[in-house]
Amino acid sequence: MRAVRIRDLLPARGRGLLAPSTFIMAAILISLGFYLLYPVLLLLIYTFNVAPEVFVPPRQWGLANWTAAFEQPRIVIALWHSFMVWGLTVVISLPTAIVISWLLARVKIPFSHGLEFMFWISYMMPGLATTIGWIMLMDPDIGLLNVAFTWLPFVDQGPFNIFSVGGIVWAHVMANGISLKVMLLTPAFRNMDAALEEAGKVSGASNIRTMVRITLPLMIAPITLVFALQLLRVFQSFETEYLLGTPINFFVYSTLIFDMVRKEPPLYGQATILASLTLIVLIFLIPLQRWILERRRYTTITGAFRPGLVDLGRWRHAATGSIWAIILLLTVLPAAALIFGSFMVRAGFFSFTPAYTTLHWELVLNDRFFTNAVMTTLILATIAAVLSPILFSILAYILVRTKWRGRGALDVIIWSSGAIPGMLSGLGLLLLFLGTPVLVFIYGTIWALVLVVIIQGNTTGTNVMKGVFVQVGQDMEDAARVAGAGWVRTYVTIWIPLMTRSLILLATMNFASAAGATSSIILLASRDTMTLSILALEYRLGRGDQEAASIVAIFLMLMTVGMSSLIWAFGVRVGVRHTH
């Protein structure tokens, strides 16, 4: 089979519309459109299906679902709750992340790069695990922190209640609300020219005034970029609201859809109505996000770039201590609570004799569903870590390095799919699999889960790889072409070594996100394909066994952080290296 050559990737001149690139692009658009956009179209169609059994013919069409949906206010209330939780989380986490990023990148503090990596560790810790950890700490009755407060004189009850709106927001901030923003903002702060800051100091401005009057205005572009990237995460959360909101009847968009689908009989019609209303909201959010991204120039390094660090003097140790305290809250405290509580007969009850036991560990380790969940999670995350970077790099290459017709449509599909929340994507694929006879066999298999987790990461992954292709000049590829190398050989021998660091980065992120995925796969998983995150939810809310749920969360946390760290450590040792 003849290798594809570079000229085959260029526009067809005089060869008509049946060039190989036309067939390849058509196949890509049809495949991605079918799995990314067609399930969304199905959601809209099923809102008008009023048959008692939506998957069994004959279909019955009407407006009864819409009428019933608007007769109950909880659908609109759930949408409002989603915006409220997201807004409060951003208001708290974004300023905090900006200050931390400035301290790590622009201030002379010890171990700044090590501290930055700790925020990567925090990001790798699944949100489900940290949420269960904070339940162990802040349960109003048996939370370890609340119990500790009752040991103080004149204190009868602890002050914390994780099962509240404030508790939900706190759990989001502690999960990845801060860490993700620090990961994105710190490199931008580090790459900023120090000349203007030094000019501010020469004029007599203090460090704080220089930061407020010079540094932050210069960093408005990347800060706005981070805000824009977060804008489409309004409807992405599920497990935190499911764990903390269900006991107090507090529903957001995703948990209400899950509640409707899991009812007996399932309310598929009303669930699709809620999903459709969410799509309408996203129709307005996507252009807003794109407008924010495109209206500013995000350059932080110029030809006159000169790095520099600020000396805070005696305040340096206070700044370093504050960062360590935040890292303690993000990682060590919830992890310690999970481990400590898992060995208690009943978490928070120190009066039992004995107070500690290993029975919960024996129960979980002897549960066949736990063994299956470990294997399913490991296989799912590994497949996502291997396949996703390869797929995203190919899509990015097509968008950046070719002039094929249809690239604009492909870019729109990729960006639009990134705005689709996990629960909505899972519901759409559920309708697709169960409503299409030739695809019904996929439902309940691990391949359905693999498809979802890869879809969920395609927007970020493809755009990361686009940045890599934009940075590398065309001359290296042209040299390979002159030497007679085909496209495949050029890709393997030139592009992959150049992209290795970025590929490893995507592999790390995809392993962590796939291992901790919940909302996107919970409607598609069966008892045989239950993952650790779903099993932890089952133990916590289905069986009421908080200690067993914490043990499952510990294994999920160890798998995610351990494997992601190994992938990351491997990545820094391969690829293109700088010599000194």
- DSSP-derived letter for residue 438 is G
226 and 375 co-located in one domain = no
| 242 occurs within a structural domain | yes
Say yes or no: 173 and 106 in one domain. Answer: yes
* 344 bridge partner residues: 356
pLDDT at 559 > cutoff 80? yes
Is 300 a domain residue?
Answer: no
Task: Find the radius of gyration of the CA atoms of the chain.
Answer: 25
Mean pLDDT for the stretch of residues 163-192: 85
Nearest Cα to Cα of residue 94 among 229, 284, 269: 229
In a domain, 571, yes or no: yes
Q: Residue 452 in contact with residue 382, Cβ under 8 Å?
A: no
Measured distance CA(221)–CA(156) in Å, rounded: 49
- Measured in Å, how far apart are the chain's first and last C-alpha atoms? 43
- 335: amino acid identity, one letter: A
Name 310's bridge partners.
107
Largest CA distance in the chain: 88
pLDDT bracket for residue 15 (50, 70, 90): very low
Residue 554 belongs to domain spanning: 1-43+363-580
Tell me what the pLDDT averaged over the chain comes to: 78
Q: What angle do CA 452, 56, 45 make, to 5 degrees?
A: 55
- Spatial separation of the C-alpha atoms in residues 101 and 249, rounded to whole Å: 37
Choose the weakest-confidence range: 60-74, 91-105, 124-138, 550-564: 60-74
**Between these two residues, 107 and 481, which has the higher pLDDT value?**
107
Give CA–CA dist 477/480, Å, rounded. Answer: 5
| Confidence check: pLDDT of 374 > 90 | yes
Here the tokens at position 542 are 């289905």
SS3 579: coil
Is a pLDDT exceeding 90 seen at residue 389?
no
Mean pLDDT of 399-410: 82
Which of 323, 329, 307, 306 is CA-nearest to residue 103?
A: 323
Q: At what angle do helices 446-456 and 422-435 cross, to 10 degrees?
A: 140
Would you say residue 291 lies in a domain? no
389 vs 510: CA distance, rounded Å: 8
Average pLDDT over every residue of 37-53: 80
- Residue 48 located in a structural domain: no
Lowest mean pLDDT, pick from 173-177, 182-186, 455-459, 554-558: 455-459
The Cα–Cα gap between 364 and 553 comes to: 11
Task: Tell me what pLDDT residue 554 has.
Answer: 92
* Banded model confidence at residue 170, pLDDT cuts 50, 70, 90: very high
**489-505 pLDDT tens trace:** 666 666 677 677 778 87
Same domain, 21 and 162: no
Residues in contact with 429: Cβ distance below 8 Å, sequence separation at least 6, in sequence order: 35, 39, 448, 451, 452, 524
CA 280 to chain centre: 22
Domain boundary among 349, 371, 401: 349
- pLDDT bracket for residue 37 (50, 70, 90): confident
Query: In terms of pLDDT, which residue wins out, 59 or 197?
Result: 59
Q: Is 205 helix (H, G, I), strand (E, B) or coil?
A: coil
Q: What is the pLDDT of residue 365?
A: 92
- Token pair in block for residue 545: 């066994």
- Count Cβ atoms below 10 Å from residue 37 Cβ, excluding itself: 17
Q: Poorest-confidence range of 65-74, 106-115, 187-196?
A: 187-196
Same-domain check for residues 149 and 39: no
Closest CA to 4 of 393, 480, 394, 486: 486
Average pLDDT of the residues in 104-129: 83
Q: Which of 15-29, 32-46, 279-293, 511-525 has the lowest mean pLDDT?
A: 279-293
* DSSP output for 31-79: HHIIIIIHHHHHHHHHTTB--SSTTSSSP-B-SHHHHHHHHSTHHHHHH
Long-range contacts of 476-485 (CB under 8 A, 24+ apart): 477/6, 477/401, 478/6, 480/6, 481/5, 481/6, 481/7
> Is the same domain home to 198 and 239?
yes
What is the DSSP secondary structure assignment for residue 275, as one 8-state letter?
H
Mean pLDDT for 123-136 is: 89
Q: Give the pLDDT of residue 205.
A: 54
Span of 149-153, 268-272, 354-358 with lowest mean pLDDT: 268-272
Q: Are residues 441 and 500 in the same domain?
A: yes
In a domain, 132, yes or no: yes
- β-strand partners of 356: 344
Give the whole-angstrom CA distance, residue 66 versus residue 89. Answer: 31
Residue 112's CATH number: 1.10.3720.10
Of 389 and 205, the one with more pLDDT:
389
SS3 310: strand
- Answer yes or no: do 101 and 149 share one domain: yes
| 166-205 as b/e: b if 16+ CB within 10 A | ebbbbbbbbbbbbbbbbbbbbebbbebbbeebeebeeeeb
H or E stretch including 123?
A: helix 112-124
* Residue corresponding to tokens 């407020």: 212
Confidence at residue 275, expressed as pLDDT on a 0 to 100 scale: 77
Between the alpha carbon of residue 24 and those of residues 10, 34, 416, 510, the distances in Å are: 13, 15, 21, 26
Whether 345 has a pLDDT exceeding 60, the answer reads yes
510: its two tokens: 């995809």
Q: With cut-offs at 50, 70 and 90, classify the pLDDT of residue 375.
A: very high
Q: Is the pLDDT of residue 304 over 50?
A: no
Environment class of residue 565 by beta-carbon count within 10 Å: exposed (0-12), middle (13-18) or buried (19+)? middle
pLDDT of residue 319: 82
**295, pLDDT greater than 60:** no
Contact 143, 158 (CB under 8 A): yes
Instruction: Output the pTM of the full model.
Output: 0.79
Residues 368 and 343 grouped into a single domain: no
pLDDT at 291 over 70: no
Looking at residue 494, its pLDDT comes to 66
Q: What is the pLDDT of residue 9?
A: 46
> Is residue 333 situated within a structural domain?
yes
The answer on 368 and 341 residing in a single domain is no
Continuous H helices in 402-445? 407-418, 422-435
29 and 100 assigned to the same domain: no
Maximum mean pLDDT: which of 210-219, 392-401, 532-541: 532-541
Q: Quick check: 241 and 250 in contact, CB under 8 A? A: yes
Split into its structural domains, the chain has a count of 2
Residue 85 pLDDT level (bands cut at 50, 70, 90): very high
415 and 447 fall within a common domain = yes
Residue 120 included in any domain: yes
Q: Which residues pair with 61 in a beta bridge?
A: 49
The pLDDT value recorded for residue 72 is: 74
In this model, does residue 302 exceed pLDDT 60? no
pLDDT at 73: 80
Select from 298, 323, 349 the last residue of a domain.
Answer: 349
On whether both 338 and 379 belong to a single domain, the answer is no
Helices (H), 214-309: 216-218, 220-231, 239-245, 253-261, 268-294
Two tokens at 319? 């700044």
State mean pLDDT over 395-415.
82
Lowest-confidence pick of 34-38, 138-142, 313-317, 529-533:
313-317
**Most confidently modeled range among 10-14, 198-202, 265-269:** 265-269
